[in-house]
Each structure stands twice: as C-alpha cells, then as structure tokens.
Structure 1
Amino acid sequence: MNHVAKRARAGSTAVLTWAGLFTVLAVLTGCTGGTPFFGDDRSPGDAIRIVPKDGAENVGADSRLAVTVPDGRLERVKVTRTEDAEHQEVPGRIADDGRSWAPREGGYRLGLAGKYSVEAVAVDGDGHRSARSTTFTTLVPEDRFIGYFKPENRSTVGTGMIVSFDFNRPVTHRAAVEKAIRITTEPRVEVVGHWFGKDRLDFRPASYWQPGTKVTVDVGLRDVEGAPGVYGSQRKKVTFTVGRSQTSVVDAREHTMEVRRDGEVVSTVPITAGAAKTTSYNGKMVVSELHEVTRMNGDTVGFGGEYDIKDVPHAIRLTKSGTFLHGNYWEDPETFGSENTSHGCIGLRDVKGGSSDTPAGWFFERTLVGDVVEVVNSTDRTVAPDNGLGGWNLGWPQWKAGSALR
C-alpha cells in the first residue's frame, strides 16, 4: 500500500482525535497519502454499512446510530464517544440474527460537541472477515468552539508524542487560544505551540521527550474568544506519561528497518517500501493509531481498483494521508529485504490473520502511540509537518516561529 496518490496530498490537516490502542480495529483507508475518510456511508463493495456516514459533521442529537450488514453477520462492534481526550463506550448490542447493531438504550441521543468512532468487523458466509471504521462529529452551538485533541488522558506514549488540537471552527484570536492551553512537565522542559493554519495547534519540546516525563495539559478554553463572537467551551486537565524510548529507521534503499530501544539496536527487520512509481515519504513520522486488523482500499485514496484488502494485519498509522507500517501476507517472503513493491507504505512479513511470531507481529506488540518511525533514502520528498504528527521535521527555530505568542 502507499501514502496517497501524489495528486491527493495537498492541504492535509490533523486527525481530529486520538484513536488509541483497541483490540481489533478496522480502518477504511488506502496505503497512500490524502484523506482516507470521505464520501458516502460506505465505499463501493463495502459489506458493512454505518450511519451516520463517515466524516459527517454537525450531526444532531436525535440522529440514527446503526451498523448493518446485508448478509453474513457482525462479529464485533465498538462505538466510542471521544470528548476532551476521554473515551466513553456507547452501550449497544448485536441483533440475534447478527445482521445489525444498535444502542442498547431505547431512544439513545447522541452527545453534542463530541466525536464518535465506530469500529466493526463482519464475517461473510464463507468465513471471510471484513473490517470497517468510521468517524463523525456532532453539533456544536454556533457561538461556541471546541478543540479535539490527543493524546488520551492517562495514556503512556512514545518519546515522539506531539500534543495536537484540531478546532471545529477557524481561530482568528490565536494568541488568546494558545495562551489558554498550558502544558507543564515533570521534569521541567520548554514546550512551545505551533499553528498550522487557523484550525490546528500542536505542542512539542525542542527534542524528543525524556522517558518517564509526566505531562499535564491544562485546557482553559472556556469563555475564551477564539473568533469574533465565538467562545470556547472546554475546561479540562489531561495527563499522560512518556514511556521507554523506541525509534525505528527505515532505509528504503537497503530494505531494512533498524529498531532502537533506549538507544540500543534490538533488531534489524527486512521490509518492503514504496515502489518506484509510488514511493514512500522520507522523514520522521509518529505512530498515531494501532490496528490489529484494518481494511485498505485504493478507491479511497486515488488508486482506483488497484487493491482492496479487507484484512490487513498489524497496521500502524504514520500519517493522516494514509501511510501505514503494516503486516503483509500477500507478497512472496523473499520480497522483504530485497525489493520495494508497495504503494508507499512500509510492509513487514506477516501471515493471513496475523501472528506474533512474524516480524510484523513482533514490532506491533512492542510499539506505542507516539513512537517515531523515520524513513531515509527514499526518492520521495520529506513528509509535510502537518501530515499526521510530522512536526519533528521542522527545526526548533522554525517550530517556535509558528507560535502566536512569540
């Protein structure tokens, strides 16, 4: 798979919320650049139908929430509301015939000013699994703005974690909003904000976090005027802890990935990167999601019908535009370490269904959200700093220049 077709890469913005570590997730995406979540409530040929549709905004409180399959059965469904980096699962049940899921409580109302994620896995009549994930956001009153942000409260993250806010409305009073978000650390380290346009604000230190650092994000946006007549509605404290250091360097020319843990090389893994016409981005990318199984569909990212793999194992998202490091069971094992064949993603040898005994399974089980994967020696350009959590590709003076408080 690949990052988005080059023509679909422009204007990337942040993923609205932190997806976290779920047991089994499904993402309708392609291994490419560009935005993978758009369009109708299902892609062509998608067996899992979800309402509200993927990417829907300003969804009303009384809107229908449902998951259905025309045939086969639903294996698992998880619906989560994310608000202020807190996750709350929506109670629901799969019908006795396995064809639908609905909230357990009758007359369930969606919460306003929230982001919902829906993850579903279905099995068809031949026993083949298919996965899908969608997101939608609910209505925010017109005179209010909120910021969807990550990482999750009380999470443990890698040393490359960037605190990222995506605002539901354009912010014109950037200094006031940035000043209202206070980040403190133990031990103390300077943390500076950087604006990407009018609706995204990221925070990071000059270099990767030290393992063991405790970080507190004090969101004091309530009643702060973000734009004329539009005021914030959030007041929240979020904490997270920086775990062990793990950084991985993918050499696209040598077809290897060197994994370093706390400065020591623990493994050199054979990989396959982007092919000559669909190269992988260079640069530092930060893990933002981990999925034990996901779907990758070329239709969603500009590759037409080149591929549609419904059960990609051990998928680790590196960019918003669709670059993943993932398990690959369909290539000849001799490909890994010798040839670049993907549409831009980084492939590790795996088996159908995934296994902890494969290179992909080994790496997946040792990865945290916030870990850094750096690609070198690709013929592609460096990944944009706002494509996912790509801010480490800016030097410290450039980063600080993007603050509204400087």
Structure 2
Amino acid sequence: MPLSSCPDPVPPAPRALPAPRRLLALGAVTVLLATGCAQASGAPAAEPTATASAATAPTTPSVGRPATAAPAEVTVAPADAAVEHNPVEPVVVRADGGELTDVVLVPAPGGEPVPGELSADGRTWTSTADLAFDTPYVLHWSAASGTGPTTTGTSTFTTVLASHEVDARLNVVEGGVYGTGQVLEFTFSEPVVNKEQVEEAVTVDGGGDRAGAFRWYSDTMLRYRPAEKWAPRSEITVSLDLLGLDVGHGMVGNHDLRRSFSTGAEHYARVDNETKTLTAWVDGEIAGTFPVTLGNPDWPSTTGQKVIMEQAPEYLFKASSLDLQPGDPHWYDTFWASNVSRLTASGEFVHQALPSALPVLGIANVSHGCVGMPPEGAKFIHDVFRPGDVVEVVGTGYPQADPDDGYGDWNIPLEHYADEEWKGDW
C-alpha cells in the first residue's frame, strides 16, 4: 500500500467500561490522543500544542460505514512537569466528550496508588487524600468516547520541596497543666509574610472563651493572649491549620498543630519593694507572706507582671552568664540555687536566697535582680505555683522587662497588643 493512503477506520465493537479507578489531581494540561496512520517519510512533523491528536478522523465517512466518534479530550491538573505542587491541592482529571475508564496516580518510583473519586457522569476524577511533600508523582489515565478510539496519557509532577516546607512549634504540651497567665507562643521554622492568613488559621477554644489578640514579635514568632487571664480549672484547645498554607515566598506549611491543655487553681504573687515582701494568693485568698531581697542598685529588678517560664528544684547559677569576670565587684562563685522559678529569659528568678543573704531578707536588696526568699517561701512558690502563673514586681523604680524577655505580654493593654510599634514602660 502506498504511504500516502490509509484504510478507512473501522469502529470497534461496543464494550462495557471497566469500573472506575480512584486518582488525584494535577495542574492544567490538555492531551488528546487517538489511533491513526503513520506520517509519510519526509513529511514535516506538526508542532506540539496543549491539545494534540495522534490522528485526524476522515472528513467524509466511507459510504456504508458509520462515522467514527471524536476521541475524548482529557485535561489534568497540575500540568505535566509541574513543580512545587501543594500537596493538599487535589489532582483532577477531566474528560470532555467521553468518559474516564482508568486513572492511576502513584508516587515515583513506586508506592500505593493515591485514592480518588469518579463523578457520577464518569467524566471527572478527583484525588481524595493529601500527597506527600518533596515527592514526584506519575499520573496515568485512559478515556473512551462512544465508538471513538480509547485515549491514554501520562503526566508527571513534583510536590513542594523540603526547602520550601514550614513547620511550627507551640509552647504548651498536650495534656499539660498551666497557670492562668500562660501566653501562647507559635514559633515558625521560616519567616511568615502572610501574617493575617496565619492568624486566621489559629483557633482557641475554652479557658473561659475570653477572646484575645495576636502579637508578632518577629517574622517567626507569634503570640496570643486572651483579653483576661484564662479561667482557673478550665480546658483549652489550640489549633493551627498550617498544612498547605502558603505563608509567603512560596513557603508552605507541612503539618497541622493541635494541643489541649488545662489551667489549675488561680495563683498570683505580688512582690513589693517598699515592704520587701512577697504575698501569694491562691484562688483569691492570701496563702502566705514572705520577706524577700531584690536586685541591688546596680542590678535592679525589673517591674511588671512576669509569667513563670519554668521551674526546677535546683539550678546552677554562674556569674559568667551575666558577663561577669573574676575580680569584678559583682562577681560571685558558682552555686546551685534551690527551688527555682524562672521569670525572664535574661535571668530573673524566684529562688531560695543564699545563706549570706538570709539576714537581710525584708530589709535590703542584695541580689542581681532575682527575688531571693527564705527556704519555706521559695519552696512554697516552687511546689504550689506552676509555669503560667504570674508574679508581679512593683516599686523598684526600674522599667518593665521587654515583653519578649519572657512572657511580659500582660503588661501590654489589650487595645495595643496587636500594635508591634507600641512601646510601654520598658
């Protein structure tokens, strides 16, 4: 037979379609395939297009033979060779002018097929499970159009790379018990540009449902506090829907975050420099008053409400942590402090005073900014109070600690809390 002629196409016999397979969705590329004649040797090849056909049906069917239906036109999303596909975005395969007979989406080089659902009309397949990050995928599909030829196709794509993933940490543990002044802090592994979208992805339920506010201390640190302190003995659930969220510059969240914690009894301590005492309240009732020593004139204690960050029965204190060297008049020998409760990241604590300071408790200030207490007072704060409880220092004449030097968020009025430029008494 001459190369320039082809036999008339013969329509295949009708057949039952196989049960639909489930798949996932890719970017937007359209492919049209059909059986047909080979091109004559030496004839120029056609330019590739988004929609292509391997053969063209005869313009006029042969006399006495039924016309062949046009092949199905199939569109897949994401597009072939797409990169950085968001794993939570479904893969979609659509057939126009026909029905899908098979769709298979698998990670490369191999793995379990991704589940999907076929629409009632058999024309659209949509993946129903999230994909993995930093993974190539291969999509195979086939479609039939009445008496027309079966079309098949394959495309590939890659999900968001590991270098573009974002995760987050939260400063409370699942099932933990905290004080009523606990501030929530989210720390992100990458800078956040779309801050408003991240805030909208956070849900806080319980704790008295006292609607609060957010404050960004940096592009990677977000805090939340309620309008008033959490209700005592309450349950709080915090959710961050980060998975698939574009935080900016193409960085995408790789997980959701869920934590539930509770508050204990209402604890509050007030340290008054005028009387040099610490008064502790439990559920609104005074539970004890103890003499204290505060920071000396060269190392005054900061003022304001401070949240207990951590506690330990013993803690090693070194003068080098304050950049002091031997021979400095403020130098002190390394020692283990007892019954320690941290108030600031920079190093203010409530702890048992050294033996040399016990005679001046309630009389003079000789510490490097800490609240020194008698043994029974430090033990009471350590044993009864917990992280998240508030210790307020007043009357030293010194400003408040920076709000991010620990959790000084309660010193910021709620109406100014979201204003990153607002400065208080620090």
The alignment's TM-score, normalised by the length of structure 1, stands at 0.60
Please state if 1:303 is matched with 2:321. no
On the 8 A contact 1:296/1:307 being kept in 2, the answer is no
Shift of 1:222: 1.4
In structure 1, distance between residues paired with 2:207 and 2:318: 43
- Shift in alpha-carbon separation, 1:240–1:227, aligned structure 2, 3 A: same
On the 8 A contact 2:213/2:414 being kept in 1, the answer is no
1:226 to 247, 254, 257: 247
Query: Amino acid of the residue matched to residue 383 of structure 2?
Result: E
In structure 1, distance between residues paired with 2:357 and 2:403: 34
2:304 to 283, 290, 302: 283
Tell me the equivalent position of 2:406. Answer: 388
Tell me the equivalent position of 2:154. Answer: none
1:183-242 residue CA offsets vs partner (Å, 9 max, x unmatched): 111543213211112121111111111112211001211121223021122213101111
- Shift in alpha-carbon separation, 1:310–1:229, aligned structure 2, 3 A: farther
In structure 2, distance between residues paired with 1:188 and 1:359: 34
Secondary structure of 1:363's match? helix
On the 8 A contact 2:207/2:230 being kept in 1, the answer is no
On the 8 A contact 1:193/1:402 being kept in 2, the answer is no
In structure 2, distance between residues paired with 1:396 and 1:332: 39
In structure 2, distance between residues paired with 1:168 and 1:275: 39
In structure 2, distance between residues paired with 1:189 and 1:206: 6
Greater RCO (Cα-Cα under 8 Å, separation 6 or more):
1
1:154 to 168, 175, 181: 175
In structure 2, distance between residues paired with 1:297 and 1:181: 40
Tell me the equivalent position of 1:340. Answer: 365
In structure 1, distance between residues paired with 2:334 and 2:227: 39
Shift of 1:141: 4.2
What does 1:328-367 correspond to in 2, within 5 Å? Answer: 328-350=353-375, 358-367=376-385
2:217 to 196, 200, 213: 196
On the 8 A contact 2:244/2:254 being kept in 1, the answer is yes
In structure 2, distance between residues paired with 1:181 and 1:304: 46
In structure 2, distance between residues paired with 1:232 and 1:190: 25
Shift of 1:170: 1.7
Query: Amino acid of the residue matched to residue 266 of structure 2?
Result: S
In structure 1, distance between residues paired with 2:231 and 2:246: 34
Instruction: Point out where structure 2 has 5 or more consecutive residues left out of the alignment.
Output: 1-160, 422-426
Please state if 1:371 is matched with 2:396. no
On the 8 A contact 2:210/2:228 being kept in 1, the answer is no
Secondary structure of 2:388's match? coil
In structure 1, distance between residues paired with 2:299 and 2:319: 12
- Shift in alpha-carbon separation, 1:376–1:187, aligned structure 2, 3 A: closer
1:52-76 residue CA offsets vs partner (Å, 9 max, x unmatched): xxxxxxxxxxxxxxxxxxxxxxxxx
In structure 2, distance between residues paired with 1:360 and 1:388: 20
Query: Amino acid of the residue matched to residue 321 of structure 1?
Result: S
Secondary structure of 2:187's match? strand
Secondary structure of 1:212's match? coil
In structure 1, distance between residues paired with 2:337 and 2:189: 32
2:165 to 119, 141, 144: 144
In structure 1, distance between residues paired with 2:308 and 2:260: 19
Please state if 1:320 is matched with 2:345. yes
Runs (4+) off by over 6 Å: none
1:345-402 residue CA offsets vs partner (Å, 9 max, x unmatched): 111123xxxxxxx221122111111000000001211121111111001001011445
1:299-325 residue CA offsets vs partner (Å, 9 max, x unmatched): 123233413434111111111111111
Secondary structure of 1:339's match? coil
Identity of aligned residues (%): 26
RMSD: 1.9
The alignment's TM-score, normalised by the length of structure 2, stands at 0.58
In structure 1, distance between residues paired with 2:167 and 2:350: 31
In structure 2, distance between residues paired with 1:172 and 1:193: 15
Query: Amino acid of the residue matched to residue 187 of structure 2?
Result: D
- Shift in alpha-carbon separation, 1:274–1:332, aligned structure 2, 3 A: closer
The count of aligned residue pairs is 257
On the 8 A contact 2:290/2:374 being kept in 1, the answer is no
Secondary structure of 2:359's match? helix
